[in-house]
Amino acid sequence: MTLERGNAFTPVASATMIWPWTTSLLGGAAGGTLFFLLNLGNGPIGAGLTAGIIFFSLIGGIGGVISRKADRRGRRWAAAYPFRYATAPALVGGAGFAIVSYATSILASPIGGLFGAVFSGLFVAAAIWLVVGVIAMVVGNKKA
């Protein structure tokens, strides 16, 4: 798959080509397990799953820019358009967070859980987008 200027799927193609999938999965599993084991309040399963999704997205997005094994064209594209590149990890993290939050809160209040999950998912997506975008902007130009 080539990274073309007019291609509508360029952000998705770039993000999936250069993500370190094994590292992302292991980091997400480790972060989720740590949050599950250290959670002393209510909902340890939901906290562990959402933390795992956030770590998966962050490690995948940042690792794709930093990793030397990643595709050179994808790294160059991520350096040129850091916040477009950061959109894919943000969507994965935000959507995953919203789905798990809604699924774990559906027993308490279905309507309040839906709106709370949507807004918390948007907040998580914005945070991941900002972190990955800034790191891609700073580090991406040096590695391309």
| Contact between 94 and 121 (Cβ < 8 Å) | yes
The answer to whether residue 2 scores a pLDDT higher than 60 is no
**126 located within any domain:** yes
**3 located within any domain:** no
For CA atoms 125, 128, 133, 134, give the dihedral sign. Answer: positive
**98 located within any domain:** yes
Judged by phi (left if over 0) then psi (alpha if -120 to 50, else beta), residue 43 lies in left
Give the tokens for residue 92: 């994965």
The answer to whether residue 144 scores a pLDDT higher than 50 is no
Tens-place pLDDT, residues 112-129: 678 888 899 999 999 999
Cα–Cα nearest to 3, from 15, 136, 134, 90: 15
| Contact between 39 and 23 (Cβ < 8 Å) | no
The answer to whether residue 133 scores a pLDDT higher than 70 is yes
Give the tokens for residue 41: 């309040």
What span, in angstroms and rounded, lies between the C-alpha atoms of 127 and 76? 23
Rounded percentage of the chain residues whose pLDDT exceeds 90: 30
pLDDT for the residue numbered 77 = 79
Number of domains in the chain: 1
The answer to whether residue 12 scores a pLDDT higher than 60 is no
The answer to whether residue 3 scores a pLDDT higher than 60 is no
**35 located within any domain:** yes
pLDDT for the residue numbered 16 = 59
pLDDT for the residue numbered 14 = 56
**74 located within any domain:** yes
**54 located within any domain:** yes
Grouping H, G, I as helix, E, B as strand and the rest as coil, residue 30 is: helix
Domain holding 105, by residue range, is: 12-143
